[in-house]
Amino acid sequence: DGKMIRVQCDYRLVVDNLMDLTHETFVHGSSIGNSAVAEAPFVATHGERFATVTRWMENIEAPPFWAGQIKDARGFEGPVDRWQIVRFEAPCTVAIDVGVAPAGSGALPQDGGDRSKGVNGYVLNTITPETDGTCLYFWAFARNYSLGEQRLTHQLREGVANIFREDEFVLEAQQKAIEEHPDHKFYNLNIDAGAMWARRLIDRQVEAERSASPTVIPIRRAG
């Protein structure tokens, strides 16, 4: 289940936000964020149309949202191994593979990648520009646990909506700051690697469209 949000910002800011999930530590501390997200190392990769950011957090305390999910679905309480695998597909679709499993239960790639004892979700995001300063943000949350519980489906939709509402405040403040300081120079950090590649891929597609020469077909009139 999911929703559509009209956000007062450039659509690329939403992509930036999704490609760098370290913001969870600071923006979503009451739900999906904790210090482990900002402290864990990550790997960024890219191709012709995609960019990925992969982060594994080993033997950590689960944040409130995930602690509740694995307790309700699996009856587990304790330290977890957590993953975030973010895949951007140009021009503006982002699929995020997220979840937690009991620490040491085999979910880590080097341990075989068996997530069956944990809970796994996908956050599906597609963003489309509306104007230079607004966009339509379509999202949905899919899961592989407690599939027959419609109550949980509704709770997850509303819970994720509240999380994204926190993002809205930050994104709209960013847009306002950019408009108020049009000459401000931005500096990218190491954690911006995924977002930087996403931006480059978008820029390449925009430039390809801009430089494409239209085909002119002459019209032959009778007489």
Please provide the size of the chain in residues. 223
Chain centroid offset of residue 205 CA: 21
- Around Cβ 172, how many Cβ atoms within 10 Å? 16
pLDDT in tens, 93-118: 999 999 999 999 999 999 999 999 99
CA distances from 62 to 31, 69, 91 (A): 10, 10, 33
In Å, what is the CA distance from 1 to each residue of 58, 70, 152, 160, 165?
29, 19, 11, 10, 16
Q: How confident is the model at residue 191, as a pLDDT?
A: 72
pLDDT of residue 219: 67
- Is the distance from CB of 60 to CB of 24 less than 8 angstroms? no
Structural domains for the chain: 2-207 (3.90.380.10)
pLDDT digits (tens, 9 = 90+) for 65-80: 999 999 999 999 999 9
pLDDT band at 215 (very low <50, low <70, confident <90, very high): low
Q: What pTM, to 2 d.p., does this model score? A: 0.87
Q: For residue 182, what pLDDT is reported? A: 85
Comparing CA positions, the residue from 182, 183, 201 lying closest to residue 193 is 201
